[in-house]
Structure 1
Amino acid sequence: MNVAEWAGIIGAAGSVLGGGSWWISRATRDAARATAAATEAAARANAAPAQQAANFAVLEATVKRVDEENGQLRGKMSRLEQIVRAFAWTTDRWARQMHRAGIEPEPAHPLVDEYNRTGV
């Protein structure tokens, strides 16, 4: 005998005793809940790779954008460092010319002195 035949026998016996319909309705309801839960779990499992692919695409786009911005910022920083070096070299040359001419220049800003000492 299969499950359906057993359920029919138990349902028939239960209806004679007065509780068979309750047992069958409860079993049907539980089976429907289990089927819904299994269907939902399968849908989540099937959607997971697509969601991961979407998340990865967003991450790749973000990394690409950040790399481009980082490259631009590095270029600007390099150019700014070149300008600071050229300006420091120029002002140092002017200060030496003033010393040779007997003119004492005003003291440099402490940050300029630090840059001249350390190069940073």
Structure 2
Amino acid sequence: MNVGEWAAVITAAGSILGGGGLFVGRATVRAAKATAAATEAAARANAAPAQQQADLDVLRETVKRVDEENGNLRGQQARLASLLRAFAWTVDRWGRQMHRAGIEPEPVHPLVDEYHRTGA
């Protein structure tokens, strides 16, 4: 006997003995669970493109904001570098004036000396 024949025999025996309703009831519950799972999977699949579009929109806005912040930071960094060059030039000029006047200035900080040597 194959599986189909055994199922028919069990169903017939269950009907005769009064347990057929239980067998059919279990099958109905399993079918309902499978249908619910399939419906849920289909709903997720249908919602996926909308969710991806929403995620893409959030990513675009984030990139735009980060680009603006980076632009501002680069502007501030350029301004600070210009200020540092101007300050270093001024201090160097004052040091030369003190040398010409015969005044020996305090030694410069090692970072200032490195900046004068390398420019960075």
* Common fold by TM > 0.5: yes
- Does residue 24 of structure 2 align to residue 21 of structure 1? no
In structure 2, runs of 5+ residues without a counterpart are 1-9
Alignment partners' CA distance in 1, 2:85 and 2:51: 50
Alignment partners' CA distance in 2, 1:22 and 1:53: 47
Residue in structure 2 matched with residue 72 of structure 1 by the alignment: 72
Contact kept, 8 Å, 1:14 with 1:20, in 2: the verdict is: yes
Q: Which range moved further: 63-72 or 101-110?
A: 101-110
Give 1:53 deviation, angstroms.
1.1
Identity of aligned residues (%): 74
Deviations 1:57-101 (A, max 9, x none): 111111110100000000000000001001111111111111112
With the length of structure 2 as denominator, give the TM-score of the two structures. 0.85
Deviations 1:33-75 (A, max 9, x none): 1100100000111111111111111111111101000000000
**Which ranges of 4 or more aligned residues in structure 1 deviate by more than 6 Å?**
none
In structure 1, runs of 5+ residues without a counterpart are 1-9
